[in-house]
C-alpha cells in the first residue's frame, strides 16, 4: 500500500471532524443574533472603525508574550522527551535558551509593558 | 581549497555571539538601572562592535589562506568572503552609532532599544553573509528586517517616521513571502536547502526544471526588494525619507550589502548552472535600476530622498558587477560595497549634523552657504558626494572603474556604456548640493543650518569615512589584494 | 630618511589650516602657522642633511617608498622620494629661502585683506615645490610641477580685482601650459621607451640601451626641455615672467626668482644622464640659455619698473644656469641656482621694501635719494647687486665665474664671449637701478615722500640674513684651492655618470691655475666696467642716457618695447587663435554641443518629472508594482 494513504485518511478525518463540529454547532446550538455576535473575531476590537482612531496596543503585547512562551513549550517538549540522550549538552543549551527568554521577560516587565494602566 | 568540517564550533559564530550579548546587556542596563547609565549604551555597543571586528580579523586564517570552514551541519560557513562582508557591516554599524549619539540626545530618544536593535540587525546581516543554508539565510534576513522596521519608525513622535516603518513593514513582509516561497520551491526540486548540496545536485541532475527556475525567479524578487532594485524599489524613497537620518545612512549601506552577500552566495555557489536563465533578467533589472534611480534623483529637493534614489542607482551598478561575475566582477562588488559604506554613511553623517531637531533642514536649498559656515563639514560632504558621483581620486571612482572594466571584460559593453552614462547623469544632482554649499548665498546668514548634532563622535565618524573614501581611492591596491583573497574562497 | 615626507607635509598642513579656518583665526596666528610650518620644514630638512652627510659620498642616495600609487600590469608608479645631494640642495633652498620670505611677508602683507588666503597659497606653493624636487619619478614630479604652476597662477592674480593682475595670471598659466604640453609628451615618450618613470630605472636603462646621440633620447630630452623653457622662462616662452610681477613682491621673490622658475634647471640637472647621452640637446640647451641670458639682459637695460628690471634679470640669470647645464657643468648650474636664490630673493625683497616704503610706487624714474631714508634696504640691496654683478668675494662671483669658465673649457668660444658680454650688461643695469633708486635727487611725488619709512623688523631681518648669504653663499665652492670645492664634491656623485659620458674632468687635463685666475680677472674687470659705466651715465651726467636714447632712437625703442615680442605673439598666435576659438564657439559649441547638452539635460528633467509621479506614496500602489514586476519576471523567466 502506498505510504501516503494513511496520511490521506488522517487528513480526511481531521477535515471531517472540523467540518462536523462546525455543522453540529450550527444545527444544535442556540442562535441569538446581535451586532457584536456577528463580528468575525471577538477580541475587544471592532474590526471596522475609522482609521484615524487611536487604539490600544495592550492586547497585542499580551498576545505576543503568549506566542513567545508558547514557542518555548514547543521547544521544551521534545527536549524533555530526549533529555537523557542529550545529557549535559542539551541541558546547557536549553538553559541558554530559557535565559535569553528570561532576559526578554525582565525587559518587558521592567519597561512596564505588563502594567495594564 | 581546503575544507574543514565540524559540527558545533563556537569560534565560528563568536563575533555574532559577542554582538548578541552586547545587545542583551544594553537592554538589561536600561531595564534594571533605568536611564541612569544612559551614556553606557553607546560604549557597550561600540565595544561589542570592536570586539566582533577583532574576532573577525583574528579568526584563524583570516585574509591569508583559502580555508573554508563549515560548521553546524553545513549550515554555517566562515570564509574570507563572509569575513569581508562582516567587516563592512561592522564598519557601517560602528559609524552609524558614532553619528547617532548626539542626534538621539537632541530627539530625546536616547534609549537602549536603539542600540540593541542596531546590534541585532547587524547580527542578522552577519548571519546572511555566513549562512550556507537557505533557511538560515532567511533567518538572517528576518532578523535584519524586523530590526530595521523598528528602527525606521524609531522617532515615533514624527509622522513621517511612523509612515516609513509601516510601509517598510508591510512591503517587507510581502517580499519575505516571495523569498520563502522561492526557497521552498528550490528545496522541493533539489531536496536540500544547503547551498553546497544544491550545487552538487544541480551539477549532477542538470538545470531546467520549471519549478526550480520559478524558485530562482522568486529569490530574485525577494533579493531585488531587499536591495531596492527596480521595479521592487518603491518602498525605498519613502522609507529613507521618513526614517531618522542616521538610520537611513545605515540602511542604505549595511543591509544592502548583506542582501548582496546572500544574493551572491546563493546565485554564484548554488545556482551557477542556471546562469543562462538569470542573465537576461538581471541585465534588465540592472539597467532599469541604474536609470530609474538616477533620473528620479534629478528632481528631488529633499536630500535624504535624493540619496535614496541615488542608493537605488548604486544597487544598479552593483548588479552590473554581479552580472560580470568572475574574478573581477566579484572583486568589484566587495570593493564597491566597502566604498559605498564609507561614502554614504559619511554623507549621512553631515546630513545628520545639519538636520536640526525634528529633521527640518533636509532640503537641498537648506545647504546654501554651508560651505562658509561649516567649512570642514562642507569639504567632507563634497568629498563624499564626489565619491558617490565617481570622481577621482575617491573610492567611488575606483569602485566604478573596477565595475565597468569588469563588465567590459565579460563582454557587457552596452551595460558598461549605460552605466557610465548614468554616472554622468548622476553628477548633476550630487553637484547641486556642492553648488548650493559653496556658490549660493542664503537669504539671511541665520538661514544656514546650525550644526546641531555635532559631537566629537560625529567628527570621528566623518574623519573615518573621509579617510576610508580617500584611502580606497588613493591606495586601491591594498584593498584589492584583500578583496581578491576574499572571494577566491568559493570560486 | 623615512620621515622625509614631513618636509612637504608641514607646509601642506599649514595650507589646510589657513585655507580652511584662516578667515576666522587672528591674523597673528595665521602668520605664525605659515611661518612655523616653513621653519619646521627647514629644520627637518637640516636634520635630513645631517643624516645624509653621515653616509659615504656614493651612498647618499635614498628612495623612501610611501605607497604604490598606480599599478596597472607592469606599469607601476610609487609615491616615493629621492633624497640625494641634488634634491637636498633644492630642499634646503626652498625651505630656507622660503622661510625667510614667509617671515618677510608678515610685514609686507600686513594690511592686505586677503592675508590668510595669501599665506595659504604660499604654503601650498612650498609644499608643491618640495614635492617637485623630492620626486623620484617623472609623474610625481609632474604633479608638483603642475601644483607650483597652479600656485603661481593664483598668486600672480592674487589681487584679482586688478585687471592687469588677472590678465598676467592667465598669461602665465597659458604660456606654461605650452611648456607643460611638451613636458607631458616627454613623459609619455619616456614611458613608451623605458616602460618606467622612475629616474634611477630610466637612467640605468638608458646607459645600457642607447649609444650617445640616439634619436630617441634626443627627442625625450628636447621635449622635457620644452617644459623647462616654459617653467624657467627661456626664449621663446619667457614672456610671462615679466608680467608675473603683478603679484605681491614676496611672491615674485619666492616663486618667480628663487624657486619655481628654477624647476626647469633642476629638472635638466636631474636628467643629466639623458642629456649627456644627447649632445645635440646639450648644445641646444646651452644655446637657448646663452641667448636668453644676453637677450633678457639687454631689455633690462632700459626698463623703468623696478620689479620688471629684476624680472628680466631673473630671465637672464636663468639663462646662465641653462648655459652651465648645457655645457655639461651641472654643478655650476646648480651652484648658480643656489646663489641666485639668495641674491635675487634679496633684491626682490629689497625692491619690495622700497615699494612698501613709497606706498606702491614702482617706477624708478620717480624714486631717487632713498639711501639715507632706507639705510638697511639700501645696504642690503647694494650687496645683492654686487653679488649678481659678480664682484669678488660675493656669491654671484663664484657661481657665474664657474659657468663662464666651464663654457670656455668646453670649447664654446662664442658662447663664452656672449655670456661675458651679458655679465657686463648685468652689472650695468643693476647699478643703473641702484643709482636711480638710492642716489641722486629725490624725484618722488611729495605725497609719497612724506610717508617714506624703513621696513619693519619682520622685513628687515630676512633682508639682512639674505644679504649675509649673498656674501658668503659662494664660499662653499672656491676654485683653485685644495679642498675648496666643498659644494662640488657634495654634488659630484649625482652627476658621476653624466660627467663620465661627457669625458669631463678626466683627471689628466685639469686646466692650469693661471688660466683660471686670469679668467676670473677678466670677469671682474667686465663687471666693474659695467658698474663704472652706469656710474658715469646715471650719477655724473644724468642727461647722458637721454642723449643716448635720442641718438640711438631706433635701438632704444626696440629695447624699450622689449623687441616687440609680446606684440608679435599677440598678432601671430593669440589673435588668430582667439578668432578660431570664437568661430568654433559660435558654430560648433553654441549650436551643436550646447544644444545637445542642454537638450539632454532638459529631456532628463522632464522624464524625471513624469517618472516620479509613479511614486504615489500609497502602499497598495507599491505592492502592486512589486506584484506586477514579479509577474513580468516570472513570465519572462518561464518563457525563456
| DSSP character string of C559-581 | HHTGGGHHHHHIIIIIHHHHHHH
Predicted model pTM: 0.62
Question: Do B86 and B126 meet the contact criterion of CB atoms below 8 Å apart?
Answer: yes
Instruction: Give the B window 107-166 contacts with C, CB below 8 Å.
Output: 166
What is the rounded CA–CA span in Å between residue C29 and residue C116?
10
* Of residues C84, C94, C6, the one with CA closest to residue C51: C84
Q: Which residues, in sequence order, are bridge partners of residue B70?
A: B5, B77
Q: Nearest Cα to C469, choosing from C584, C354, C346, C376?
A: C346
Question: Which of C15, C72, C608 best probes binding to B when mutated, by most B CB atoms within 10 angstroms?
Answer: C608
Nearest chain C residue (CA) to B393 = C69
Residue B173 touches chain C, beta carbons under 8 Å:
no
- Answer whether B5 touches A (CB < 8 Å): no
**Any chain C CB within 8 A of the CB of B288?**
no
B110 vs chain C: nearest CA distance in angstroms?
Answer: 30
Q: CB B32 to CB A100 under 8 A?
A: no
Q: Residues 62..91 of A with a Cβ closer than 8 Å to B: which? A: none
Q: From the list C68, C615, C636, which residue is nearest B234 (CB)?
A: C615
B367-426 residues touching C, CB cutoff 8 A: 375-376, 379, 425
Check pLDDT > 70 for residue B490: no
Measured between beta carbons, the chain B residues lying within 8 angstroms of C601 are: 428
Contact criterion met (CB below 8 Å) for C388 and C328: no
Determine whether the interchain pair B425/C604 forms a contact, defined as Cβ–Cβ distance below 8 Å.
yes
State the DSSP H helix or E strand holding residue C65, giving kind and residue range, or none if neither. strand C65-72
- What is d(CA C440, CA C435) in angstroms, rounded to the nearest whole number? 7
Sequence-distant (6+) residues with CB within 8 A of B112 are B26, B27, B29, B30, B31, B41
Which of the four pLDDT bands, split at 50, 70 and 90, describes residue C147?
confident
Q: CA nearest B120: which of B155, B103, B99, B145?
A: B145
**CB-CB neighbours of C376 under 10 Å:** 18
- Nearest-angstrom CA–CA distance, C472 and C393: 8
Rg (CA), chain C: 28
Exposed/middle/buried for residue B395 (C-beta within 10 Å: 0-12, 13-18, 19+): buried
pLDDT above 70 as % of chain B: 97
List the single best residue of C612, C618, C620, C624 to mutate versus B (max B Cβ within 10 A).
C612
Query: Cell match 569581508: residue?
Result: B84
Neighbours of chain A (3+ CB pairs under 8 A): B
- State the cell numbers at C469: 648669504
Residue A117 resides in a domain: no
DSSP alpha helices (H): ranges in B300-374? 303-324, 326-355, 370-373
DSSP string, B174-239: HHHHHHHHHHHHHHHHHS--BHHHHHHHHHHH-S--HHHHHHHHHHHHHHHHHTT-TTS-THHHHH
Is C608 close to B295, i.e. CB distance below 8 A? Answer: yes
Q: C residues 125-184 near B, CB within 8 Å?
A: none
CA distance C226 to C213: 19
Q: Tell me, yes or no, if B213 comes closer than 8 A to chain C by beta carbon.
A: yes
Low-confidence winner among C28-42, C460-474, C585-599 (lowest mean pLDDT): C585-599
Q: Name the more confident of C132 and C484.
A: C132
Instruction: Single out the residue of C52, C494, C53 nearest to residue C270, CA to CA.
Output: C494
Q: Contact B432/B426 with Cβ under 8 angstroms?
A: no
Return the residue of A nearest to B8 by Cα. Answer: A89
pLDDT digit string (tens) for A13-72?
999 999 999 898 888 877 777 776 666 665 566 666 676 666 677 778 888 888 888 888
Which residues, in sequence order, are bridge partners of residue C198?
C137
Region of poorest pLDDT, from B299-308, C23-32, C62-71, C453-462 = C62-71
Question: Is C498 in contact with C273 (CB distance < 8 Å)?
Answer: yes
| CB proximity under 8 Å: B 10-39 to A | 24, 27-28, 30-32
> Other CB atoms closer than 10 Å to residue B362's CB: what's the count?
23
- C551-587 pLDDT, tens digit per residue, is 777 777 777 777 777 777 777 777 777 777 777 666 6
Q: What is the mean pLDDT of residues B78-96?
A: 93
Domain extents for chain B?
Answer: 3-483
Q: Number of helices and strands (H, E) in chain C?
A: 29, 2
Contact C202, C251 (CB under 8 A): no
Radius of gyration for chain A, computed over Cα atoms and rounded to the nearest angstrom = 22
Q: Which residues of B touch A109 (CB under 8 A)?
A: 31
Does residue C390 carry a pLDDT above 50?
yes
Q: What DSSP state is assigned to residue B260?
A: H
Give the integer Cα–Cα distance in Å for B314 and C21. Answer: 34
Position C180 scores a pLDDT of 85
Model confidence pLDDT, tens digit, residues C295-345: 888 888 888 888 888 889 999 999 999 998 888 888 888 999 999 999 899
Chains that touch B (3 or more CB pairs under 8 A): A, C
Distance from CA of C32 to the nearest CA of B (A): 21
Q: Residue B268: pLDDT band by 50, 70, 90 thresholds?
A: confident
Q: Helix, strand or coil for residue C80? A: strand
Nearest to C240 by CA among C188, C177, C294: C177
What is the CATH number for A80?
A: 1.20.58
DSSP collapsed to 3 states, C357-397: HCCCCCEHHHCCCCCCCCHHHHHHHHHHHHHHHCCCCCHHH
* C81: phi then psi, degrees, rounded to nearest 5: -110, 165
Residue C83, SS3 per DSSP: strand
- Give the gap in angstroms from C-alpha C635 to the nearest C-alpha of chain B: 9
Residues 6+ apart with CB under 8 A from B172: B145, B148, B149, B225, B235
Which residue of chain A comes nearest to B24, CA vs CA? A103
Q: Which residues contact B242 (CB under 8 A, 6 or more apart)?
A: B152, B158, B160, B161, B162, B163, B164, B165, B167
Q: Which helix (H) or strand (E) holds C145?
A: helix C138-156
Average pLDDT over residues B327-355: 92
Q: What is the pLDDT of residues B281-296, one digit of tens each?
A: 899 999 999 998 998 8
Here the cell at position B98 is: 558614532
Q: What is the mean pLDDT of residues C3-20?
A: 86
CA distance C156 to chain B (A): 24
Contacts of B24 (CB under 8 A, 6+ apart): A100, A103, B116
Residue C588's pLDDT band, with cuts at 50, 70 and 90, is: low
pLDDT digits (tens, 9 = 90+) for B97-141: 999 999 988 888 888 899 999 999 999 999 999 999 999 999 999
Q: 10 Å Cβ neighbour count for A86?
A: 16
The yes-or-no verdict on residue C506 having pLDDT over 50 is no
Q: How would you list the strands of the sheet with B2-5, edge to edge? A: B2-5, B67-71, B76-78
**Best residue in B22, B28, B29, B31 for a mutation probing chain A (most A CBs within 10 Å):** B31
| Contacts of residue C13, Cβ cutoff 8 Å, sequence gap at least 6 | C37
pLDDT confidence bin for B263, thresholds 50/70/90: very high
Residue B266 Cα, gap to closest chain A Cα (Å): 30
Residue with cell 628690471: C309
From the CB coordinates, do chains B and A have 3 or more pairs under 8 Å?
A: yes
A60 inside 8 A of chain B by CB: no
Give the closest-approach CA distance of B271 to chain C in angstroms.
15
Give the dihedral of Cα atoms C257, C263, C268, C273; nearest 10 deg.
130
Chains C and B physically touch (3 or more Cβ atom pairs below 8 Å) = yes
* pLDDT tens by residue, C227-277: 888 888 888 888 888 888 888 888 888 888 888 888 999 999 988 888 888
Interface test with A, best of B23, B27, B34, B72 (most A CBs within 10 A): B27
The residue with greater pLDDT, C565 or C589, is C565
Task: Give which of B225, B227, B286, B295 to mutate to test C binding, by max C Cβ within 10 Å.
Answer: B295
> Minimal Cα–Cα distance from B113 to chain A, Å?
10
How many domains does chain A contain in total?
A: 1
| C206: nearest Cα among C496, C502, C498, C491 | C498
Give residue A62's domain range.
Answer: 5-111
Residue whose entry in the numeric block shows the C-alpha cell 468575525 = A40
The percent of residues in chain C predicted with pLDDT above 70, rounded, is: 93
- Chain C meets chain A (3+ C-beta pairs below 8 A): no
Task: Tell me if A106 and B31 make a contact (CB, 8 A cut-off).
Answer: yes
Interchain CB distance below 8 Å, B32 and A106: yes
CB C53 within 8 A of CB C85: no
Q: What is the mean pLDDT of residues B276-282?
A: 86
Rounded alpha-carbon distances, angstroms, from residue B90 to B46, B48, C192, C213: 10, 10, 45, 61
Rg (CA), chain B: 21
Q: State the sign of the Cα–Cα–Cα–Cα dihedral B361, B362, B364, B367.
A: positive
Selecting from B234, B278, B298 the residue whose C-beta is nearest the C-beta of C622 gives B234
> Nearest CA of chain C to the CA of B425: how many Å?
8
In a domain, A116, yes or no: no
CB contacts under 8 A, A 87-106 vs B, are 100, 103, 106
The chain-wide mean pLDDT, for chain B, equals: 88
Strand, coil or helix: C477 = strand
Cβ–Cβ gap B171/C628 under 8 Å: no
Q: Which residue of C has its CA nearest to B241?
A: C617
Predicted ipTM? 0.80
Whether residue C394 has pLDDT greater than 70? yes
Specify if A13 maps to a domain: yes
In this predicted structure, the answer to whether residue C437 has a pLDDT above a threshold of 50 is: yes
Question: Are the Cβ atoms of B296 and C630 closer than 8 angstroms?
Answer: no
CB B31 within 8 A of CB A106: yes
B31·A100 Cβ contact <8 A: no
Q: Which of C69, C608, C630 sits opposite B221 (nearest CB)?
A: C630
CA nearest to A112 within chain B: B31
Percent above pLDDT 90 for chain B: 48
SS3 state of residue B70? strand
Q: Is C593 a residue whose pLDDT tops 70?
A: no
Chain C residues closer than 8 Å to B152 by CB: none
pLDDT of residue B88: 95
Mean pLDDT score across all residues of chain C: 83
Mean of pLDDT values over A92-101: 89
- Collapsed DSSP state (helix, strand, coil) of residue A41: coil
Cell of C588: 560648433
Amino acid at each position: 500500500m502506498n505510504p501516503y494513504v494513511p496520511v490521506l485518511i488522517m487528513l480526511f478525518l481531521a477535515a471531517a471532524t472540523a467540518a462536523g463540529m462546525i455543522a453540529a454547532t450550527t444545527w444544535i446550538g442556540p442562535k441569538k443574533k446581535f451586532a457584536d455576535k456577528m463580528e468575525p473575531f471577538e477580541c475587544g476590537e471592532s474590526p471596522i472603525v475609522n482609521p484615524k482612531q487611536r487604539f490600544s496596543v495592550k492586547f497585542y503585547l499580551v498576545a505576543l508574550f503568549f506566542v513567545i512562551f508558547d514557542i518555548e513549550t514547543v521547544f521544551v517538549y521534545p527536549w524533555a522527551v530526549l533529555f537523557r540522550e542529550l545529557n549535559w549538552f542539551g541541558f546547557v543549551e536549553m538553559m541558554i535558551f530559557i535565559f535569553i527568554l528570561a532576559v526578554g521577560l525582565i525587559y518587558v516587565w521592567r519597561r512596564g509593558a505588563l502594567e495594564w494602566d | 581549497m581546503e575544507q574543514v568540517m565540524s559540527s558545533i564550533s563556537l569560534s565560528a559564530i563568536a563575533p555574532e555571539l559577542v554582538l548578541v550579548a552586547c545587545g542583551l546587556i544594553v537592554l538589561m542596563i536600561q531595564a534594571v538601572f533605568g536611564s541612569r547609565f544612559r551614556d553606557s549604551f553607546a560604549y557597550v555597543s561600540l565595544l561589542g562592535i570592536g570586539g566582533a571586528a577583532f574576532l573577525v580579523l583574528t579568526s584563524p586564517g583570516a585574509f591569508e589562506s583559502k580555508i573554508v570552514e563549515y560548521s553546524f551541519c553545513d549550515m554555517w560557513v566562515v570564509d574570507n568572503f563572509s569575513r569581508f562582508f562582516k567587516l563592512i557591516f561592522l564598519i557601517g554599524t560602528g559609524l552609524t552609532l558614532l553619528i547617532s549619539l548626539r542626534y538621539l540626545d537632541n530627539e530625546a530618544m536616547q534609549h537602549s532599544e536603539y542600540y540593541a536593535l542596531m546590534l541585532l540587525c547587524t547580527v542578522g546581516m552577519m548571519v546572511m553573509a555566513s549562512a550556507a543554508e537557505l533557511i538560515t539565510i532567511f533567518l538572517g534576513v528576518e532578523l535584519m528586517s524586523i530590526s530595521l522596521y523598528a528602527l525606521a519608525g524609531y522617532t515615533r513622535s514624527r509622522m513621517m517616521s511612523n509612515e516609513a516603518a509601516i510601509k517598510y513593514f508591510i512591503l517587507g513582509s510581502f517580499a519575505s513571502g516571495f523569498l520563502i516561497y522561492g526557497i521552498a520551491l528550490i528545496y522541493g526540486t533539489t531536496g536540500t536547502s544547503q547551498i553546497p548540496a544544491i550545487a552538487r545536485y544541480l551539477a549532477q541532475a542538470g538545470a531546467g526544471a520549471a519549478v526550480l527556475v520559478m524558485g530562482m525567479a522568486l529569490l530574485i524578487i525577494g533579493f531585488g526588494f531587499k536591495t531596492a532594485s527596480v521595479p521592487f524599489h518603491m518602498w525605498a524613497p519613502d522609507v529613507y525619507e521618513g526614517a531618522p537620518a542616521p538610520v537611513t545612512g545605515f540602511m542604505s549601506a549595511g543591509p544592502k550589502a548583506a542582501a548582496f552577500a546572500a544574493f551572491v552566495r546563493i546565485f554564484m555557489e548554488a545556482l551557477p548552472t542556471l546562469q543562462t536563465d538569470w542573465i537576461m533578467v538581471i541585465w534588465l533589472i540592472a539597467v532599469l535600476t541604474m536609470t530609474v534611480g538616477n533620473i528620479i534623483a534629478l528632481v528631488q529637493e529633499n536630500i535624504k530622498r535624493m540619496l535614496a534614489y541615488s542608493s537605488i542607482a548604486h544597487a544598479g551598478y552593483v548588479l552590473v558587477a554581479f552580472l560580470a561575475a568572475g574574478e573581477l566582477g566579484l572583486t568589484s562588488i566587495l570593493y564597491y560595497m566597502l566604498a559605498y559604506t564609507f561614502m554614504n554613511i559619511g554623507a549621512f553623517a553631515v546630513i545628520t549634523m545639519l538636520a536640526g531637531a525634528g529633521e527640518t533642514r533636509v532640503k537641498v536649498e537648506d545647504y546654501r552657504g554651508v560651505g562658509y559656515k561649516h567649512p570642514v563639514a562642507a569639504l567632507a560632504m563634497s568629498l563624499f558626494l564626489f565619491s558617490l558621483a565617481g570622481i577621482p581620486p575617491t573610492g567611488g571612482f575606483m569602485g566604478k572603474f573596477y565595475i565597468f572594466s569588469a563588465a567590459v571584460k565579460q563582454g557587457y559593453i552596452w551595460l558598461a556604456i549605460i552605466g557610465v552614462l548614468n554616472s554622468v547623469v548622476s553628477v548633476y544632482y550630487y553637484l547641486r548640493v556642492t553648488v548650493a554649499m559653496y556658490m549660493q548665498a542664503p537669504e539671511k546668514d541665520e538661514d544656514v543650518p546650525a550644526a546641531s548634532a555635532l559631537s566629537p563622535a560625529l567628527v570621528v565618524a566623518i574623519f573615518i569615512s573621509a579617510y576610508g573614501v580617500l584611502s580606497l581611492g588613493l591606495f586601491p591596491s591594498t584593498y584589492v589584494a584583500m578583496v581578491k583573497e576574499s572571494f577566491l574562497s568559493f570560486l | 630618511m623615512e620621515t622625509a615626507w614631513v618636509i612637504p607635509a608641514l607646509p601642506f598642513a599649514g595650507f589646510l589650516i589657513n585655507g580652511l579656518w584662516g578667515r576666522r583665526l587672528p591674523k597673528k596666528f595665521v602668520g605664525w602657522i605659515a611661518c612655523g610650518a616653513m621653519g619646521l620644514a627647514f629644520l627637518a630638512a637640516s636634520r635630513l642633511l645631517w643624516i645624509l652627510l653621515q653616509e659615504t659620498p656614493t651612498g647618499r642616495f635614498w628612495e623612501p617608498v610611501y605607497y604604490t600609487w598606480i599599478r596597472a600590469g607592469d606599469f607601476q608608479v610609487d609615491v616615493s622620494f629621492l633624497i640625494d645631494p641634488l634634491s637636498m640642495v633644492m630642499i634646503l633652498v626652498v625651505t630656507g629661502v622660503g622661510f625667510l620670505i614667509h617671515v618677510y611677508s608678515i610685514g609686507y602683507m600686513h594690511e592686505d585683506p586677503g592675508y590668510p588666503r595669501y599665506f595659504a597659497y604660499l604654503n601650498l606653493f612650498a609644499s608643491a615645490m618640495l614635492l617637485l624636487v623630492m620626486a623620484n619619478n617623472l609623474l610625481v614630479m609632474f604633479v608638483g610641477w603642475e601644483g607650483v604652476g597652479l600656485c603661481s597662477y593664483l598668486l600672480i592674480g592674487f589681487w584679482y580685482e586688478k585687471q592687469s593682475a588677472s590678465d598676467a595670471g592667465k598669461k602665465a598659466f597659458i604660456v606654461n601650459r605650452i611648456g607643460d604640453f611638451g613636458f607631458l609628451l616627454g613623459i609619455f615618450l619616456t614611458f613608451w621607451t623605458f616602460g618606467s618613470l622612475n629616474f634611477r630605472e630610466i637612467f640605468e636603462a638608458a646607459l645600457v640601451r642607447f649609444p650617445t646621440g640616439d634619436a630617441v633620447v634626443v627627442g625625450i630630452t628636447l621635449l622635457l626641455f620644452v617644459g623647462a623653457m616654459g617653467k624657467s622662462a627661456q626664449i621663446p616662452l619667457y614672456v610671462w615672467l615679466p608680467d608675473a610681477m603683478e603679484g605681491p613682491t614676496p611672491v615674485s621673490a619666492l616663486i618667480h626668482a628663487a624657486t619655481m622658475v628654477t624647476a626647469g634647471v633642476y629638472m635638466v640637472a636631474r636628467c643629466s644622464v639623458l642629456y649627456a647621452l644627447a649632445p645635440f640637446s646639450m648644445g641646444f640647451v646651452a644655446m637657448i640659455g646663452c641667448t636668453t641670458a644676453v637677450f633678457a639682459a639687454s631689455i633690462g637695460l632700459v626698463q623703468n619698473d623696478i620689479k620688471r628690471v629684476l624680472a628680466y634679470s631673473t630671465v637672464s640669470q636663468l639663462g646662465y644656469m641653462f648655459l652651465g647645464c648645457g655645457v655639461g657643468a651641472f654643478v655650476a648650474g646648480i651652484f648658480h641656482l643656489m646663489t641666485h636664490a639668495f641674491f635675487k630673493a634679496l633684491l626682490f625683497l629689497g625692491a619690495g621694501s622700497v615699494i612698501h616704503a613709497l606706498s606702491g610706487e614702482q617706477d624708478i624714474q620717480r624714486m631717487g635719494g632713498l639711501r639715507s631714508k632706507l639705510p638697511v634696504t639700501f645696504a642690503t640691496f647694494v650687496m645683492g647687486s654686487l653679488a649678481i654683478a659678480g664682484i669678488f668675494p660675493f656669491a654671484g662671483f663664484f657661481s657665474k665665474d664657474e659657468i663662464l669658465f666651464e663654457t670656455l673649457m668646453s670649447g664654446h668660444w662664442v658662447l663664452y664671449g656672449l655670456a661675458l658680454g651679458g655679465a657686463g650688461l648685468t652689472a650695468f643695469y643693476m647699478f643703473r637701478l641702484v643709482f636711480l633708486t638710492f642716489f641722486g635727487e629725490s624725484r618722488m611725488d611729495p605725497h609719497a615722500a612724506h610717508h617714506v619709512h624703513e621696513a619693519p623688523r619682520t622685513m628687515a631681518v630676512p633682508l639682512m640674513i639674505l644679504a649675509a648669504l649673498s656674501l658668503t653663499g659662494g664660499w662653499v665652492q672656491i676654485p683653485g684651492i685644495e679642498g675648496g670645492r666643498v659644494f662640488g664634491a657634495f654634488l659630484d656623485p649625482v652627476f658621476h655618470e653624466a660627467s663620465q659620458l661627457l669625458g669631463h674632468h678626466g683627471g689628466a687635463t685639469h686646466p692650469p691655475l693661471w688660466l683660471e685666475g686670469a679668467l676670473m680677472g677678466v670677469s671682474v674687470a667686465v663687471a666693474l666696467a659695467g658698474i663704472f659705466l652706469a656710474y658715469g651715465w646715471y650719477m655724473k651726467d644724468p642727461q647722458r642716457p637721454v642723449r643716448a636714447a635720442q641718438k640711438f632712437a631706433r635701438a632704444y625703442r626696440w629695447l624699450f618695447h622689449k623687441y616687440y615680442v609680446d606684440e608679435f605673439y599677440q598678432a601671430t598666435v593669440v589673435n588668430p587663435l582667439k578668432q578660431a576659438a570664437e568661430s568654433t564657439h559660435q558654430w560648433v559649441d553654441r549650436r551643436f554641443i550646447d544644444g545637445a547638452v542642454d537638450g539632454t539635460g532638459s529631456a532628463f528633467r522632464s522624464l524625471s518629472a513624469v517618472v516620479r509621479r509613479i511614486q504615489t506614496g500609497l502602499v497598495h500602489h507599491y505592492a502592486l508594482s512589486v506584484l506586477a514586476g514579479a509577474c513580468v519576471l516570472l513570465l519572462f523567466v518561464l518563457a525563456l
